[in-house]
Structure formats: C-alpha cells, structure tokens
C-alpha cells in the first residue's frame, strides 16, 4: 500500500516529545496526525501550549489493542510513523511494572505488525531509552554498548528495541530506534525530578516554600533539550537505510550540579534549602548515564544545541514566565 506523502502519524502526540515533534514536522510541511487513548477527552495541552492544536489532526488509539492501532494506521496511511507513547516514568514503573512493560512492548509490536499486515510502505521510528544501558562508562554509551536495564521501564524499552531490530531484519521494514538520553523542557510533567527541582526553586524564591526534598544527589545524567532531540528523530527517517542512534549531549552532570545551577538562577544557595529523603530513592537506580553522540553527529549531522548550564537557565526562566502569564 502506498502511503500519503508528507504525512506523519505520532502515537503519543500529546506528550512532551510528541508536541515538539508535531511543531517541527508542521514547519517542514507535513500533515501531522497525533493520537491519545481518547482524543475527545484529552486536552492535548502541550499542543495548545505550543499554539499548534488546531493544526494537528487527532485520533483515538489504544496501543495494546492491535485492531485500534491497525485501523488508525490504515485510515491515515502515513509515510512517517513515530512511536512516542506508553508509560514513560522510570520511578512509576517500579509501582506499575506489568502495565509499564505491557504498554511499551505490546504497543511497539502492534505498530510493527500493523505495518506488516497492512503492507504499508512507511518509515517507522521507535522511542527507545538510555535507561536500557543501565550504568554507563564516563566516556559515554555508544550504539554497541550492551544493555543492562535496571528498572521495569528499561526492561520494556530494551525488549521493544530488539523487536524493532527483528522486524527490520525479518521483514525488511524501514524501522529504527532512537536511544535517547534525558531530554527536558517546560512541557515535562511535575513528577519528573528536573521539573520538581525547577518548580521547587521558583516556589522558594517566591516565598511559597522553604525547602526542597530530593533523593540521591550524586547520580550523574546526560541532560539535553527536548526540541533538539525530536529533530534527531525526524532526521533518522530521512536516511536511505534505517539505523539505530544514540541521541545525547555527551556532557555528564550530577544532580547536585543541576540543583546548584537552578538555585543560582534565583541567587540562592541550594545548601540552605535542600534536604534528602531516603523514601525518594528507587529500589535500584543508575549512578552514571551519559551518551556518546558521535554516530549521530557523523551520519545525521545532528548535535545538541543546548547543554548545561544553559539548559537549567532556560527551564527556570520558562517557569517564571509561565507563572507570570497565568
């Protein structure tokens, strides 16, 4: 089946990455379709926040229901499909392991199988995660670094990565995975630690709170800007041959340094306000997670444009502006 040219379907179009990807693809001249479990009930607030809600066509799709997925793909007939859906919180995955793994793994398989069953000549991007690697060396994980997942979320992402590789090899589908390291924006929900820090810092600066409780401060991560990372997703589907890529800044920063940078934005000393709470620690966590984006730079011409501490400056400034506007 021939697809509709310049048509993109984003499963998980209401999330952070789905919203930024929609904005990018619209600017590139694509007709963009996005999904949520119930499009009539979903406010698609991130699309609204970016001012593009009326330009994205929305559909209801339940990823663990093959019929729902296949019907949506057959209706839209896109030449680009992006899978950005599923439960995306590592911390929450320990409380809901079955739901998390099921939403990630079954959703990916259903999209792949629907493409094969329908016979649609399309290109498929799957959102994998740096969590698959577990702890990395300080030099950064590459596409050849073995997976050692340390959470139910990571287990699901690792399984879906190999499902994409299997369908690519077995059925000659144009299918690839982006192994994305942490990427942030003002569209992140408050349950993510970066937004908890940013909002907590602004609360303290405004006199609405007098402390901020966090877990381990010595963990190190590779934090980037979400709008940069969706650009890499789009570029991956422009290659003649599908391939998997690590998408990262290559810069390792401890959570302590992230906290320090956030408090510096409001001229406060973080050590006067931050407390540690053992109840916030995960059953197992990653000490060091950093990526090596060399392949993406070489083959995609992609490089992160926003790194620390500019990333934190931007997040805090956006939070202050959001409050003034509300």
Catalytic: 273? Answer: no
Burial 292-313 (b: 16+ CB within 10 A, else e): bbebbeeebebebebbbeebbe
Residue 129 among the catalytic residues: yes
For residues 13 and 33, the answer to whether their CB atoms sit within 8 Å is yes
Give the 3-state DSSP-derived string for 129-187, with helices as H, strands as E and coil as C: EHHHHCCCCCCCECCCCCCCCCCHHHHHHHHHHHHHHHHHHHHCCEEEEEEECCEECCC
For residue 222 the two structure tokens come to: 């590779």
Q: Helices in the chain by DSSP H: which ranges?
A: 16-27, 45-49, 66-76, 90-95, 97-118, 152-171, 193-205, 226-236, 255-264, 294-299, 310-325
Question: Counting every residue, how long is the chain?
Answer: 326
Other Cβ atoms less than 10 A from the Cβ of 60: the count is 15
Residue 10: strand pairing partners: 34, 82
Catalytically annotated residue among 36, 129, 151, 177: 129
- With a CB cutoff of 8 Å and minimum separation 6, the contacts of 52 are 19, 22, 23, 26
36 among known catalytic residues: no
Which of 23, 131, 184, 319 is an active site residue? 131
Q: Write down the catalytic residue from 20, 125, 153, 229.
A: 153
Inter-residue contact 72 to 59 (CB < 8 Å): yes
Non-local (6+) Cβ contacts of 245 within 8 A are 143, 176, 178, 179, 232, 236, 295, 296, 299, 300
DSSP state of 3: P
Separation in Å, CA 264 to CA 91, 182, 195, 303, 312: 27, 22, 16, 27, 10
Give the catalytic positions in this structure.
129, 131, 153
């Amino acid at each position: 089946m021939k697809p509709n040219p310049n048509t993109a379907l984003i499963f998980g179009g209401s999330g952070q990455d789905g919203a930024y990807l929609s904005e990018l693809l619209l600017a590139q001249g694509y007709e963009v379709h996005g999904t949520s479990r119930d499009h009539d009930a979903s406010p698609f607030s991130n699309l609204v926040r970016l001012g593009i809600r009326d330009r994205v066509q929305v559909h209801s799709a339940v990823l663990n229901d093959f019929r729902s997925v296949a019907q949506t793909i057959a209706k839209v007939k896109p030449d680009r499909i992006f899978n950005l859906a599923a439960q995306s919180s590592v911390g929450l995955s320990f409380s809901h392991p079955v739901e998390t793994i099921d939403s990630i793994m079954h959703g990916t398989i259903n999209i792949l199988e629907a493409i094969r069953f329908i016979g649609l000549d399309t290109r498929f991007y799957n959102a994998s995660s740096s969590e698959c690697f577990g702890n990395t060396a300080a030099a950064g994980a590459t596409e050849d670094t073995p997976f050692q997942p340390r959470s139910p979320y990571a287990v699901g992402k690792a399984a879906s990565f190999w499902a994409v590789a299997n369908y690519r090899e077995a059925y000659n589908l144009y299918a690839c995975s982006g192994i994305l390291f942490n990427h942030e924006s003002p569209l992140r929900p408050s349950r993510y630690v970066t937004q908890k820090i940013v909002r907590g810092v602004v609360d303290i600066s405004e006199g609405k709170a007098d402390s901020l409780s966090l877990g381990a401060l010595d963990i190190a991560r590779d934090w980037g800007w979400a709008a940069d990372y969706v650009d890499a997703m789009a570029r991956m589907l422009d290659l003649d041959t599908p391939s998997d890529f690590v998408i990262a800044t290559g810069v390792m920063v401890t959570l302590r340094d992230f906290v320090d940078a956030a408090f510096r934005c409001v001229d406060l000393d973080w050590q006067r306000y931050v407390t540690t709470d053992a109840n916030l620690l995960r059953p197992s966590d990653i000490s060091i997670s950093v990526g090596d984006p060399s392949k993406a730079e070489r083959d995609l011409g992609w490089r992160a444009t926003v790194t620390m501490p500019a990333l934190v400056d931007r997040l805090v400034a956006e939070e202050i502006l959001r409050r003034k506007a509300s």
